[in-house]
Amino acid sequence: MSVEEETEQSDVIRACAIARDIEEFDLLIEDMETELGPEWGGLNFENAPGILASDLAENLDFVAIAVDKQDEEDLSDVAKVIRIAKDQNISVILVPHDLNTVALHQLMRSGADDFAPYPLPEGALHDAVERTKAVPAKIAAPAVAAAPQPADLKVRDGVVLPVYGLAGGVGASTFAANLAWELQKLLEKESKKVCILDFDFQYGAISTYLDVPRSEATFEFLSDVLNADPESMKQAMSPYKGSLDVLPSPPDSLPLEFVSAEEIKHLLETATKLYDFVIIDVPQALVSWSETVLKHSHLYFGIVELDMRSAQNTLRFLRTLKAEDLPYEKVQFVLNRAPKFTDMNGKTRVKRMAESLEIEFRFQLPDGGKVVPNSCDEGEALAELAQKNPLRKEILKIAKTISELASNESD
């Protein structure tokens, strides 16, 4: 039933469902009737712009816009409807069905306030409506003295420590996860907070290594980063053992360019207000926001192994940084699976590699053996599963060094 027909039977139309063919979204129709009774109408993408811009829309609280794969080829009509609705101060709830993540991100950026995936889970539309109702209330609230923030939301000035693997399988994610946990355990007595952000939006492993769930909250957060505040960031986090906050990679694989350099900058600025140390697991591919991460870092760990591919990639990486006049001096090279103290031949190879690349290995990590991949598979930090493991001991030393350096600088 259209808005014009509905108006004849009801004094007030409070909402609209909009789709290319609304009859294809029968569950949405049922939920709209449950939520609003007769006080809603149906529109399509052709007649929606004119009606939303007219007096017929003056009482609308929200519109639910349903889209599916057939709409992906050209989203301009959908985006136009979203923009017109927002111009009229009408809340927009997106109802995507089998929509790819890029298309969904594009529509969220057009101004959609919330989304409820189709087929709609029970209560999903109602919950989305309630969330959109909460937004105007916050904006309209009169200015009053700021209420005291909870202890975990106090403003901090965090240290940013990205971890970058210069070749696949060099152990960067393992190092990042364990470094974050060691720092959190060291600093929790001082009421300091640590988080780890998984910026490999395609195949990030931090959630696996620390056994935290991936949730749609992460995707929602990344879809609207520029409007994120410390509270929304906390809600997107998944805690490891109740103390280390983890921003896992999203449930579905996303393009690395899903988030822009400007959004990454805002994300890091928000994180440093919330946490004393921000560990970042950086993807190997260099993208538009890689420079942003480097510039915001205090130290940038480059993880390599004693092999030719690591050497070649390190050379390329340094050339890129120097060519772009980026702060390559922030990069602290870490040699993983370093030769044992008694391996003189291995020590010679390490020295030769460092000299040929004109770098210094700030830290050398021993091979932790089979217990390391086992701990990753079990979703436990080495400190919880194998405290005496040589790799764990070395990462603990690094964590202590970092915490002491940060403490000295703050003094």
Q: Are residues 367 and 342 in the same domain?
A: yes
247-264 tens-digit pLDDT: 999 988 888 888 999 999
Look up the CATH number of the domain holding residue 340: 3.40.50.300
The percent of residues in the chain predicted with pLDDT above 70, rounded, is 91
* Of 405 and 199, more confident: 199
Tell me which DSSP letter residue 21 carries.
S
Q: Within 10 A of 117 (CB to CB), how many other CB atoms are there?
A: 15
Mark which of 139, 164, 188 sits at the end of a domain: 139
- Tell whether 170 and 31 lie within a shared domain: no
Supply the pLDDT for residue 376: 96
One domain for residues 39 and 15: yes
Tell me if the bond preceding 239 is cis, omega within 30° of 0. no
pLDDT at 377: 96
Q: What is the mean pLDDT of the chain?
A: 88
Strands (E), 153-203: 159-165, 194-198
pLDDT on residue 401: 93
Least confident of 103-117, 143-157, 221-235, 384-398: 143-157
pLDDT at 182 over 90: yes
pLDDT of residue 227: 87
Q: Same domain for 287 and 198?
A: yes
Mean pLDDT of 80-105: 87
Band of residue 411 on the pLDDT scale cut at 50, 70, 90: low
- Residues 265 and 361 reside in one and the same domain: yes
Query: Same domain, yes or no, for 67 and 189?
Result: no
In total, how many domains does the chain have?
Answer: 2
For residues 16-35, give the mean pLDDT: 94
Residue 158 and residue 134 in one domain: no
Q: How far is CA 322 from CA 24, 315, 317, 319, 328, in A?
A: 56, 11, 9, 5, 7
**Buried/exposed code over 387-406 (b: 16+ C-beta within 10 A; e: otherwise):** eebebbebbbebbeebbeeb
Note whether residue 259 is domain-resident: yes
Q: What is the pLDDT of residue 3?
A: 53
Is the pLDDT at 169 greater than 70? The verdict is yes
41 occurs within a structural domain: yes
Average the pLDDT over each of 42-46, 270-274, 402-406 and give the range with the smallest value.
402-406
pLDDT over 70 at 145, yes or no: no
- Under the banding of pLDDT at 50, 70 and 90, the label for residue 150 is very low
| Residue 115 domain flag | yes
Cβ contacts of 209 within 8 Å, gap of 6 or more: 173, 174, 177, 375, 376, 379
pLDDT band at residue 140 under the 50/70/90 scheme? very low
Domain-located, residue 208 = yes
Average pLDDT on 198-205 reads: 95
Identify whether residues 207 and 116 lie together within a single domain: no
Of 139, 168, 199, the one marking the end of a domain is 139
Q: What is the pLDDT of residue 130?
A: 84
pTM score > 0.75 for this model?
A: no
Residue 153 has pLDDT above 60, yes or no: no
The answer to whether residue 149 sits within a structural domain is: no
pLDDT at 141: 34
Band (122; pLDDT cuts 50, 70, 90): confident
* 284-312: average pLDDT: 96
Model confidence at 123, in pLDDT bands (50, 70, 90)? confident
Q: Does 143 have pLDDT greater than 50?
A: no
Q: Is residue 145 part of a domain?
A: no
Q: List the single range of 142-151, 326-335, 402-411 with lowest mean pLDDT.
A: 142-151
Q: Do 373 and 258 belong to one domain? A: yes
Q: Are residues 189 and 59 in the same domain?
A: no
In a domain, 201, yes or no: yes
In this prediction, residue 249 carries a pLDDT of 94
pLDDT at position 106: 77
Looking at 139, 162, 181, the residue that finishes a domain is 139
Region 113-137 average pLDDT: 77
Query: Which structural domain, as residue segments, surrounds residue 72?
Result: 3-139
- Are both 209 and 327 inside the same structural domain? yes
| Residue 134 pLDDT | 54
CATH number at 36 reads 3.40.50.2300
Q: Is residue 146 part of a domain?
A: no
- pLDDT bin (cut points 50, 70, 90) of residue 138 is very low
Q: Mean pLDDT over residues 34-42, rounded?
A: 92
pLDDT at 348 over 50: yes
Report which of 63, 73, 122 is spatially closest to residue 93, judged by C-alpha positions.
63
pLDDT score, position 49: 93
Distances (CA, A) of 208 to 3, 216, 248, 314, 379: 49, 16, 9, 27, 6
Secondary structure (3-state) at 239: strand
Same-domain pairing of 118 and 238: no
- Give the number of C-alpha atoms closer than 13 A to the C-alpha of residue 368, restricted to the C-beta side: 28
Mean pLDDT of the 121-134 span: 80
User: Would the pLDDT of 203 be above 80?
Assistant: yes
Question: Which of 69, 63, 86, 108 has the alpha carbon at shortest distance from 219?
Answer: 108
